[in-house]
Chain A
């Protein structure tokens, strides 16, 4: 079945540091890939998406590229801010009639001033 593997956390960075959060997936067919973000005390929000190989999703300074050859969708940001502190979830949208979003375990990012 489909699965998403995220790197182990938590991650703590200083403001303006470079961020990479690794995500790899296992799926049949050609799934869509997503990053969702959960700020403290809130529900999840879609951060960015990519629907086919080599697509790059971007939003709020975050980027991720759909790499079919390595089955990866790593999240990057060049300069993190304190306000980026949140839990980040990589997710895969399956193919088929009644498919569902499969989430990774999530990783907590803390950015200190």
Chain B
């Protein structure tokens, strides 16, 4: 039973398109995250939601919009895709109060913008 799942695993699209990535966790955690990993493996947090409330919003272009319909789901919508958006996007979850930094990561979505 997958703890943190993401769909799709691979996403190839053209510049200017709009796309979404979905994330679901079945761990009962109250906090979810989106990270971006570039081609050099550098990992940077983008957003975090706690109980459906946005609590971390790093300097990310406003073309990126997260949405958390409930505690178990966090989606990422990207408008007007650019070449520089090509990366692997990871969703993660944790339990905020007891183990905020013990995060469980999904398998990643490799986004390629052509």
B-binding residues in A (CB < 8 A): 32, 34, 38, 41-46, 49, 87, 89, 91, 93, 98-101, 103, 105-106, 108
**What residues of chain A lie closer than 8 Å to B106, measured between beta carbons?**
43
29 contacts between A and B (CB under 8 A): A34-B101, A38-B41, A41-B107, A42-B108, A43-B92, A43-B105, A43-B108, A44-B43, A44-B90, A44-B103, A44-B105, A46-B102, A46-B104, A49-B102, A87-B41, A98-B48, A98-B55, A98-B56, A100-B45, A100-B56, A101-B45, A101-B103, A103-B42, A103-B43, A103-B44, A105-B40, A105-B41, A105-B42, A106-B42
Interface size on B, residues (CB 8 A): 21
Q: How far is the CB of B56 from chain A (nearest CB, A)?
A: 6
**What residues of chain A lie closer than 8 Å to B100, measured between beta carbons?**
93, 99
